[in-house]
Amino acid sequence: MVGSETRYQAFLKALGKDHLRRELTPVDPSGARSLQVGGKAYVNLASNDYLALRFHEALIARSAEWAGRYGTGSGASRLVTGNLDFFEPIEVKVAQLKQKPAALLMASGFQANAAVLQALFDRSVLGAEPLVFADRLNHASMHFGCKAASVHQIRYRHGDAAHLTDLVTQFQEDSRPKFILTESVFSMDGDVAPMDEIAALARTQNATLIVDDAHATGILGEGGRGLSDGADIVIGTFSKALGSFGAYVACAPTVRDYLINRCSGFIYSTALPPPVLGAIDAALDLVQGMDEARTHVANMAARFRFGAKGIGFETGASATQIVPLIAGTADAALGLSAKLREAGFWATAIRPPTVPQMTARVRLAFTAAHNDADIDRLLEVLSECAVSNTAKAVLS
Ligand SMILES: Cc1ncc(COP(=O)(O)O)c(C=O)c1O
């Protein structure tokens, strides 16, 4: 073992001791509702496929058709020979869904946040290090983008528009470019940022509002357009409610042009492959007409939250299809996840550093493939699980 490896091994050992070591589990999806692990079937409560589109026949058909017609890869970056002729029509559809003037496709949600933020915060272009106000619980990829741009984030308390206002007004006279960075729906809590207040503040303070709409696009907002109406720049992904992979930035045409010229993650990365683009294109054709599925998911999540709270579980400020069962310690979250698995539900324990210390949880995500009987059975199983006193103590 070379020197560095012994260090990695020691790191892994320490994680294991704290119940924080992560492992990959091979799964066999048997449709949008369930999966099999080691030959046993589970109801899948750990997928972000909120509209159950990843097994939709239209997505599969267009994906296969485009693979046959255009090949399995794009062959190059879009600035070389990878700009196949359907990219721009897809971007028009994205811009229309998001109600923004333009859009640009990116490789993945993580890559988009990492690369786009780095480019947008470029001090050599802005003339100074920008002032970046960021929600404390923003996704790891947003932190990554800020770090890549070497900007110091001014963090405000999670979802706290008043705190954000205080911080921004302290810099009112500062002429450096200001940005506000938030998710619309937070991935681990399922709560919604105060978008209207944040957007109004951004307008009055001349700050650029950048919103990661990953967990709202497709499933929330009118026609599934998400919750980013007040944003200047929206970053989102096709890997969640839209059922496939890849990401987008929806923005002004100038910002799109700037990214084409300055965003290294766009310039130096091979364009998305045609089968993925086929699935994206088909999902964009379907999504606005899926109100019934959206209502079904919202109703199930609301009924589940009501039931779970009634039997003593802590679901935080969840108001969407994402519902955490906050257990406290990593050990408690792992124990709850194991109990659910015994009962045939696949739900993942989420531990620090993904969530703050002592708020380890089991994250549940409801999708259009679930049904009311799944919710009833889930609540029945939970009523047999002991409620974590640690979580109650931490959150009270
Ligand atoms: C808020 C948020 N942004 C970005 C991402 C990354 O998206 P992708 O899975 O497409 O890389 C995720 C998903 O993990 C997310 O939850």
CATH of the domain at 221: 3.40.640.10
Indicate if 235 and 175 belong to the same structural domain.
yes
* Number of other CB atoms surrounding residue 38 within 10 Å: 8
Q: How far is the CA of 250 from the centre of ligand 1 (A)?
A: 16
149 and 111 housed in the same domain: yes
- 87 assigned to some structural domain: yes
Instruction: Give the closest residue to 217 by CA, choosing from 236, 189, 193, 234.
Output: 236
- Do 135 and 206 fall into the same domain? yes
In a domain, 12, yes or no: no
Domain edge (last residue) among 262, 287, 312: 287
Q: How far apart are CA 377 and CA 340, in angstroms?
A: 11
Return d(Cα 390, Cα 335) in angstroms, integer: 13
**Count: domains in the chain:** 2
Of 235, 261, 287, which residue constitutes the final position of a domain?
287
Ligand 1 centroid–CA 235 distance in Å is 10
Nearest CA to ligand 1 atom 9: 109
**237 vs 251: CA distance, rounded Å:** 14
Q: How far apart are the first and last CA of the chain?
A: 47
Domain co-membership, 165 together with 249: yes
Shared-domain flag, residues 237 and 315? no
Provide the annotated active-site residues.
48, 139, 183, 187, 212, 215, 240
Task: Classify residue 37: in a domain, yes or no.
Answer: yes
What residue owns the CA closest to ligand 1's atom 10? Answer: 109
Top mutation candidate among 105, 141, 182, 248 for ligand 1, by most atoms within 8 Å of CB: 141
Pocket of ligand 1 from Cβ distances under 6 Å: 108-110, 113, 139, 141, 183, 187, 212, 214-215, 237, 239, 247
Selection from 270, 323, 377, 274 nearest residue 62 by Cα? 274
Is position 83 within any domain? yes
Decide which of 229, 260, 287 is a domain's last residue. 287
Give, using CA atoms, the residue closest to atom 8 of ligand 1. Answer: 109
The per-residue pLDDT for 261 is 98
Mutate to test the pocket of ligand 1, among 213, 235, 238, 239 (most ligand atoms within 8 A of CB): 239
pTM value is 0.95
- Residue 354 Cα to ligand 1 middle (Å): 13
Closest CA to 387 of 316, 332, 338, 341: 332
Which residue's CA is the nearest one to ligand 1's atom 7? 109
| Secondary structure of residue 101 in the 3-state scheme | coil
Return the ligand 1 atom nearest residue 111 CA.
11
Handedness of CA 105, 252, 135, 315 (dihedral sign): negative
Closest ligand 1 atom to the C-alpha of 239? Answer: 10
Residues 76, 141 within the same domain: yes
Q: Kindly report the CATH number assigned to the domain that includes residue 381.
A: 3.90.1150.10
Burial class of residue 39 (count of CB atoms within 10 Å of its CB; 0-12, 13-18, 19+) = exposed
Range of the domain at 24: 18-51+290-395
Three-state secondary-structure class, residue 368: coil
Task: Kindly give the distance from the C-alpha atom of residue 173 to the centroid of ligand 1, in angstroms, as a whole number.
Answer: 35
pLDDT at 386: 58
358 CB-near residues (< 8 Å, 6+ apart): 328, 329, 390, 394
How far is Cα of residue 386 from the mean position of the Cα atoms in its chain? 30
Averages of pLDDT over each 10 residues, the chain, 396 residues: 92 94 93 96 98 98 98 98 96 98 98 98 98 98 98 98 98 97 98 98 98 98 98 98 98 98 98 98 98 98 98 97 97 96 97 95 98 98 71 46
Same domain? 110 vs 74? yes
Rounded distance between C-alpha atoms, residue 142 and residue 153, angstroms: 10
For the CA of 183, the closest atom of ligand 1 is 1
CA distances from 54 to 97, 106, 275, 385 (A): 19, 19, 13, 32
What's the rounded Cα separation, in Å, for the pair 78 and 263?
A: 12
* Helices and strands in the chain: count of H runs, count of E runs: 15, 14
Closest CA to 60 of 282, 246, 248: 282
**Is residue 365 included in any domain, yes or no?**
yes
Pocket test for ligand 1, best of 48, 105, 110, 136 (most atoms within 8 A of CB): 110
Q: What is the DSSP letter of 388?
A: P
Considering the domain architecture, whether residues 355 and 391 belong to the same structural domain is answered as: yes
Centre of ligand 1 to C-alpha 171, Å, is 30
- Phi and psi, residue 120, nearest 5°: -65, -30
Question: Residue 11 falls within a domain, yes or no?
Answer: no
Question: Are 162 and 211 contained in the same domain?
Answer: yes
Query: Is residue 168 in some structural domain?
Result: yes
Query: In this structure, which amino acid lies at residue 32?
Result: A
**50, 116, 181, 187, best to mutate for ligand 1 pocket (most atoms within 8 Å of CB):** 187
Task: Assess whether 64 and 202 both reside in one domain.
Answer: yes
In a domain, 5, yes or no: no
Assess whether 198 and 342 both reside in one domain. no
Residues 359 and 383 in one domain: yes
Which of ligand 1's atoms lies nearest the C-alpha of 187? Answer: 16
